[in-house]
């Protein structure tokens, strides 16, 4: 599909297309609100909750990008595994009574905001100004085709990433255990 | 152009990805604990993944490539979170803090 030519120009709010658009707007709102909380909340637990909200919104965006499989993986891996791991680390390593407040370092004030705003502005200007060219699809990108590609074209990468994950698990146990006698 | 059809445009997704990346950079620069910086790095990875998935949906001839790449990003992010958090726990056990201002042993 050519991204420059949308299917429907102006659907009404109560038509199915309009409701789809409304759900997409809600997903954008959820994602950006969660990202804002995750980047700016003073307490780490609240930042982590914002991260969960943001990842859920990103899963919704993946659903709009024709990939319910990746939406499910986003929920399973990020919300289910990574955020739970971070919450355990917050419980073990970031006690609330030792928390310092106030700005830290020279980059925390307006300079950090300006750097982030410059990166965002540059990347979105690039996205808006470029003439993107689409090509005809050679397949439909279903879960079946992802599985075939994973076990044929990308089988080497698939094996390597399993080894990386195994080494990461063993390394995490070894590093976190260090210093304990038993 | 109505706001209700913006999910059919590539640039919408690219701007969302750029915004997530910007929030991630802001968090990475302003956080004062290692765990907060890790949360911000996860935000940046999410922005990159959204970009990949958007190009995969609109431009790529083979729409499985972007999904597989995003899957690998997720696996790397999970490994990174496991290793990073175990380092944070080890640092906390040694220094009794994870504040970036107190971890200055290598400061010249």
Instruction: Mention every residue, 6+ apart, whose C-beta is less than 8 A from residue A6.
Output: B1, B5, B8, B9
Query: What residues in B contact A154, CB-CB < 8 Å?
Result: 68
Tell me how long chain B is.
108
Return d(Cα A81, Cα B21) in angstroms, integer: 21
Q: Say if B100 falls within a structural domain.
A: no
Interface test with B, best of A172, A174, A178 (most B CBs within 10 A): A172
Report the share of chain A in percent with pLDDT over 70: 87
Q: Tokens representing A22?
A: 């409304």
pLDDT reported for residue A1: 45
Query: What 3-state DSSP class applies to B33?
Result: strand
Is residue B106, in this structure, part of any structural domain at all? no
Chain A residues with CB-CB distance to B75 below 8 A: 77, 161, 164-165
Q: How many residues does chain A have?
A: 182
CB contact under 8 A, B75 and A165: yes
The pLDDT tens digits of the residues spanning B11-50 come to: 999 999 999 999 999 999 988 888 999 999 999 999 999 9
* Dihedral sign computed on CA atoms, order B90, B85, B23, B44: positive
Domain count for chain B: 1
Residue B83's domain spans which residues? Answer: 3-95
Kindly tell me the burial class for residue A164, based on how many C-beta atoms sit within 10 Å of its own C-beta (0-12, 13-18, 19 or more). middle
| Cα-based angle A32, A36, A37 (whole degrees, multiple of 5) | 120
Percent of chain B with pLDDT over 70: 98
User: How close B56 comes to chain A (CA, Å)?
Assistant: 8
Residue B46 within any structural domain of the chain: yes
Look at residue A133 and tell me whether its pLDDT is greater than 80.
Answer: yes
A141 CB burial (10 A radius; 0-12, 13-18, 19+) = buried
Q: Which two three-digit tokens encode residue A112?
A: 């950090």
At B94, list the tokens. Answer: 């040694």
- List the 3-62 stretch of B: residues with Cβ below 8 A of A: 3-27, 29-33, 35-36, 38-40, 42-43, 46, 49-50, 53-54, 56-62
pTM of the model: 0.89
CA Rg value for chain A: 21
Nearest-angstrom CA–CA distance, A98 and B98: 10
A20-34 pLDDT, tens digit per residue, is 889 999 999 999 999
pLDDT one-digit tens code per residue, A35-85: 999 998 888 899 999 999 999 999 999 999 989 999 999 999 999 999 999
In-domain check, residue B63:
yes
Q: Does A170 touch chain B (CB under 8 A)?
A: no
What percentage of residues in chain A have a pLDDT greater than 90? 59
The CATH number linked to B41 is 1.10.287.3510
Q: Is residue B105 part of a domain?
A: no
In a domain? residue B55: yes
Please state the ipTM of this predicted complex.
0.92
Contact at CB, A18 and B87, closer than 8 angstroms: no
């Amino acid at each position: 599909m050519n991204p420059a030519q949308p299917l429907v120009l102006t659907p009404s709010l109560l038509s199915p297309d309009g409701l789809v658009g409304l759900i997409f707007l809600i997903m954008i709102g959820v994602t950006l609100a969660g990202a804002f909380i995750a980047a700016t909340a003073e307490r780490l637990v609240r930042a982590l909750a914002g991260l969960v909200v943001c990842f859920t919104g990103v899963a919704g965006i993946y659903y709009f990008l024709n990939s319910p499989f990746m939406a499910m993986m986003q929920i399973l891996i990020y919300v289910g595994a990574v955020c739970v791991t971070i919450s355990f680390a917050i419980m073990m390593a970031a006690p609330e009574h030792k928390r310092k407040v106030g700005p830290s370092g020279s980059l925390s004030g307006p300079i950090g905001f300006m750097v982030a705003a410059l990166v965002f502005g540059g990347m979105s200007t690039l996205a808006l100004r470029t003439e993107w060219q689409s090509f005809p699809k050679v397949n439909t990108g279903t879960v079946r085709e992802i599985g075939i590609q994973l076990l044929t074209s990308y089988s080497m990468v698939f094996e390597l990433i399993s080894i990386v994950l195994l080494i990461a698990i063993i390394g995490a146990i070894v590093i976190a255990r260090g210093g304990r006698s038993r | 152009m109505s706001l209700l059809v913006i999910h059919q445009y590539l640039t919408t997704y690219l701007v969302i990805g750029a915004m997530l990346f910007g929030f991630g950079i802001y968090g990475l620069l302003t956080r004062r604990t290692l765990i907060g910086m890790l949360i911000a790095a996860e935000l940046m990875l999410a922005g990159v993944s959204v970009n990949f998935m958007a190009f995969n949906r609109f431009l790529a001839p083979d729409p499985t490539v972007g999904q597989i790449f995003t899957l690998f990003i997720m696996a790397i992010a999970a490994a990174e979170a496991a290793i990073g958090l175990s380092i944070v726990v080890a640092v906390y056990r040694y220094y009794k803090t994870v504040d970036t201002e107190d971890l200055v042993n290598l400061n010249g």
